[in-house]
């Protein structure tokens, strides 16, 4: 990987209060599942540890902002923290510093990351051109703020996708679009056919919506009433979910009546809303899609010209899966944080190419669906998302905590 991004070797440095505020103000735009924003960052001045005073970061988790039912292995949680770290690092790099991760302890709600703010031009390291290129940050705090998911219609753009994937892959030679890399840090991105995606989506939608605990947990993060203060703070707003206002009001009325809520009814409404957004396309594709072809070729890379043509002709977005090796034990929090940073940079590269993503974590959370997204049983999806050009001029933005 772009080693300079993860293991900067510069000297510890001190940030001004204004710089700290800038980092915090930018990094909060990092993405997180259900927009829980589970990070609790704290910058401190370390006086005693080195000859010079410098700024250290302690990053923790707010246990109230985790998803124990939907994310029992804390994968999405750790990915989101990785996104936050990368957003913070991008902000720092703009001013000649960077984040050096010193220690990762605990897991899930007990995850604890210690980092040091260091000078980003590491002496003796930026000698070769390639090392120098690696330390140049492509993204700015504005890019961090501008990126957003779009759950509306996304249109394919193969050339833009190509640009983004090329730029992303170039940052880390271990990431690949075609071959599996080595070691547990390797990530692989694949584009799957519409038929494969659609079947995986069908399987996962059924599995998740029929799970009452998952549904209840999601309900707690749904923001249906724009008059509530939380609507401007966190969670999934009706606006960003593209739930029409009257439907959102109806759902809110049901949910608002308390725990005796006829959950199955809300459940059906949410399903109706979800189908309204993504289901129409899926249904059409399922009816016309060639199942045998889907079975024979569980995924095709971007090199599958046929897949691209089919995607283009149907105007479906690109369907992407980020794959990690299944070998051995589950990835450690350290590895997952690094994956979160890479995933986030991929979304930023897509945004840089004019594309937005629509994340579909249920596809990787439901094993039957996840299996469909990988060409190789030694790999499993860590993230699944569509990518394309937003059709709508105005994309509703997710709120953030102050």
Ligand X SMILES: Cc1cc2nc3c(=O)[nH]c(=O)nc-3n(C[C@H](O)[C@H](O)[C@H](O)COP(=O)(O)O)c2cc1C
Q: What residues make contact with ligand X under the rule CB under 6 A? A: 31-35, 76, 79-80, 83, 148-149, 151, 236, 359-362, 398
Alpha carbon of 323 to those of 191, 245, 342: distances in Å?
Answer: 11, 37, 12
Residue 80 or 273: the one with the smaller Cβ distance to ligand X is: 80
Q: How far is the CB of 188 from ligand X (least distance, A)?
A: 17
Q: In terms of Cα–Cα distance, which of 186, 208, 156 is closest to 382?
A: 186
What are the distances in angstroms from CA 279 to CA 5, 240, 249, 274?
39, 17, 22, 7
Measured from the CB atom, the residue of 83 and 90 that comes closer to ligand X is 83
Q: 397 and 364 in contact (C-beta within 8 Å)?
A: no
Q: Which is nearer to ligand X, 4 or 149 (CB)?
A: 149
> Bridge partners of 116?
56, 100
CA distance 223 to 83: 23
Smallest separation, CB 363 to ligand X (Å): 8
Q: Which residue, 90, 82, 46, 45, is CA-closest to 61?
A: 82
Nearer CB in complex with ligand X: 76/157? 76
Least spacing, CB of residue 365 vs ligand X, in Å: 8
Closest approach of ligand X to the CB of residue 54, in Å = 30
Residue 388: phi, psi to the nearest 5? 180, 180
Q: Cα–Cα distances in Å, from 28 out to 108, 165, 230?
A: 19, 25, 16
- Cβ 233 to ligand X, closest distance in Å? 12
Judged by CB, which is closer to ligand X: 96, or 213? 213
Least Cβ distance, residue 165 to ligand X (angstroms): 19
Q: Whose Cβ is closer to ligand X: residue 31's or residue 289's?
A: 31
E strand map for 127-228: 154-155, 188-192, 222-223
């Amino acid at each position: 990987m772009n080693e300079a991004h993860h293991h900067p070797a510069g000297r510890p440095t001190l940030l001004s209060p204004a710089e700290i505020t800038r980092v915090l103000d930018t990094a909060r735009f990092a993405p997180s599942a259900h927009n829980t924003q589970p990070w609790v960052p704290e910058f401190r001045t370390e006086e005693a540890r080195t000859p010079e005073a410098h700024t250290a970061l302690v990053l923790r988790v707010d246990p109230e902002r985790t998803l124990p039912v939907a994310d029992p292995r804390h994968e999405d949680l750790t990915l989101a923290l990785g996104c936050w770290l990368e957003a913070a690092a991008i902000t720092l790099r703009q001013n000649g510093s960077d984040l050096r991760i010193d220690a990762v302890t605990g897991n899930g709600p007990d995850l604890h990351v210690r980092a040091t703010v260091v000078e980003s031009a590491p002496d003796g390291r930026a000698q070769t051109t390639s090392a120098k290129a690696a330390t140049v940050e492509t993204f700015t705090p504005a890019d961090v703020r501008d990126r957003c998911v779009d759950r509306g219609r996304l249109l394919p753009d193969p050339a833009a996708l190509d640009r983004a994937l090329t730029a992303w892959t170039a940052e880390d030679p271990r990431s690949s679009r075609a071959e599996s890399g080595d070691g547990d840090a390797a990530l692989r991105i694949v584009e799957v056919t519409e038929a494969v995606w659609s079947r995986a989506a069908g399987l996962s939608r059924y599995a998740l919506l029929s799970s009452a605990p998952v549904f209840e947990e999601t309900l707690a993060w749904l923001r249906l009433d724009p008059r509530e203060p939380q609507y401007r703070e966190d969670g999934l707003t009706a606006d960003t979910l593209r739930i029409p206002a009257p439907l959102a009001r109806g759902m809110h009325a049901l949910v608002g009546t308390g725990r005796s809520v006829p959950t199955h009814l809300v459940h059906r409404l949410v399903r109706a809303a979800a189908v309204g957004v993504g289901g129409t396309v899926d249904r059409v594709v399922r009816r016309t899609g060639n199942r045998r072809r889907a079975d024979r070729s569980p995924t095709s890379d971007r090199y599958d010209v046929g897949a691209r043509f089919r995607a283009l002709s149907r105007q479906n977005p690109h369907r992407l899966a980020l794959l990690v090796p299944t070998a051995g034990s589950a990835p450690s929090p350290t590895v997952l944080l690094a994956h979160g940073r890479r995933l986030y940079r991929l979304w930023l590269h897509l945004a840089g190419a004019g594309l937005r993503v629509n994340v579909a974590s249920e596809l990787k959370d439901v094993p039957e669906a996840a299996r469909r997204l990988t060409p190789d049983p030694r790999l499993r999806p860590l993230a699944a998302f569509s990518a394309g050009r937003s059709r709508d001029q105005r994309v509703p933005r997710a709120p953030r905590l102050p």
